[in-house]
Structure 1
Amino acid sequence: MDFNQILDIVIPATLQTLYMVSVSSIIAVILGLPLGIILTITREDGISPSNYIYTFLSTVINVFRAIPFAILIIILLGLSRLIVGKIIGPTAFIVPLTIGSIPFVARIMESYFLDMDKGFIEAAKAMGSTNKQIIFKVMIPETIPMIINGVVMTIINIIGYSAMAGFIGGGGLGEIALRYGHQRREYTILWISVILMVLIVQIVQVIGNYLNKKTNKK
């Protein structure tokens, strides 16, 4: 296999991986961050305690986190067909990638909010701030560096998930690594796929570290 043939295989697969990872990450963070906030404020010691809401959300999140991703994909293929009209390809696998990542985002964001200095919240309460003001003017601004870390961790997790999805028809670098690298013994493509995934992870981490330093007040 010559260089041009390898490029014709690797470039589309790389774009598929970037597509799956970027769309899934954006949706997972958009939905997971509010869930993390709700979990934090509805805890017994939160600013708006609700045992029913917290227990329900926490249980659902724990259930989804307990299901191995490979099994979750199979379970959610029907939902993929319902939402995007297909069960094969990058677009179809955005659905399980997103749903599998939302519980991770919610739980990790909850842990970040719980780790922040409670003195800021108490001071805001003393000044008469509403719960909405505490969330958007205290909790989120004070945890921005940690939220960035959480987003980076989410993206890296989804990159790994996308490779697994490629093994069962999701496309991307995972699929060509299996099809060409393993089944056809085209080890050049296998190693190029591995190197590209490592490179993507490294780029994401470097950008995340830069943004973390920029936003860290400490």
Structure 2
Amino acid sequence: MSRIAELWPEIVQALTETFAMLIVAIPLAVLIGTPLGIWLYSTSPRGLKPRPRIHRIVDTAVNTLRSFPFLILLIAIIPITRFIVGTTIGTAAVIVPLTINAIPYFARLVEQNVTQLGGGVVEAARAMGATRGQIVREVLLVEAKPAIVGSITITTVSFISYSAMAGLVGGGGIGDFAIRYGYYRYETVVMFFAIILMLVLVQAVQIIGARLVRSLDKRNA
């Protein structure tokens, strides 16, 4: 434990870098991915305003980005990353591919959340004379809110592991810390401590997310 105490300033810095990645990438994914997911649902054959050809193109693009291995994406968009943040190493550089990967990932989850509501709520809103905008704002987003919060939790947990992979290219964070001390220097105790920190972080996000979902779910009221 004396070694952990000695490295504590670096551990705190690594945690701060991990939080920085998530604090930027996840809100941007929610901000852009939510309307994108709603749009994917709306333009689908069973959506509010079906546009099969356009939907097929965007749907394919979302699937392609979502299934792209993160490390390959990180390397593939190096020119874009350099253009946006002026560097290709460090925490700021990792945030760019992390965000690009998170947006389609979250958009697909939102699309599924809204689709699972079924057509009944949409038809009921239409029968009452609601416009498409009102259906989206006052029906779909409201009814799907617990599921969307659950999707935010899933996305955050998934991208905690993605942020750890960024350590392979010097992206900072807990992953980078674990690789530098556990892999290159063979300090097994330090590596296991970093793993425990990651597990605690994941569990904390999962618990907070589950509680928020329960508080928003009308069925638990």
TM-score range, shorter chain: over 0.9
Residue 120 of structure 1 deviates from its aligned partner by 1.2
Q: Percent identity?
A: 39
Partner of 2:59: 58
Q: Which amino acid aligns with 2:94?
A: F
Rounded to whole Å, the distance in 1 between the matches of 2:4 and 2:50 is 61
Separation (CA, whole Å) in 1 of partners of 2:68 and 2:212: 32
Query: Given the alignment of the two structures, is residue 126 of structure 1 paired with residue 130 of structure 2, yes or no?
Result: no
Q: Match of 1:176?
A: 177
- Cα-Cα RMSD: 1.1
Q: Distance in 2 between matches of 1:12 and 1:115?
A: 41
Letter in 2 for 1:205: Q
Q: What is the alpha-carbon distance in structure 2 between the residues aligned to residue 211 and residue 67 of structure 1?
A: 30
Q: In the alignment, what sits opposite 1:102?
A: 103
SS of 1:86's equivalent?
Answer: coil
Deviations, residues 183-202 of structure 1 (Å, cap 9, x unaligned)? 10112221111111111111
Deviations 1:148-183 (A, max 9, x none): 110001101110100001111110110111111111
Q: Which runs of 5+ in 2 are unaligned?
A: none
Where does 1:21-170 land on structure 2 (aligned, <5 Å)? 21-170=22-171
Q: Count matched residues.
A: 218
**What is the rounded CA distance, in whole Å, between the counterparts of 1:2 and 1:172 in structure 2?**
19
Runs (4+) off by over 6 Å: none
Residue 53 of structure 1: CA displacement? 2.2
Report SS of the residue matched to 1:2: helix
Q: TM-score, normalised by structure 1?
A: 0.97
Q: Aligned equivalents of 2:190 and 2:16: distance in 1?
A: 15
Amino acid aligned to 1:174: G
Unaligned runs of 5+ in 1: none
Query: How far apart in 2 are the matches of 1:49 and 1:20?
Result: 36
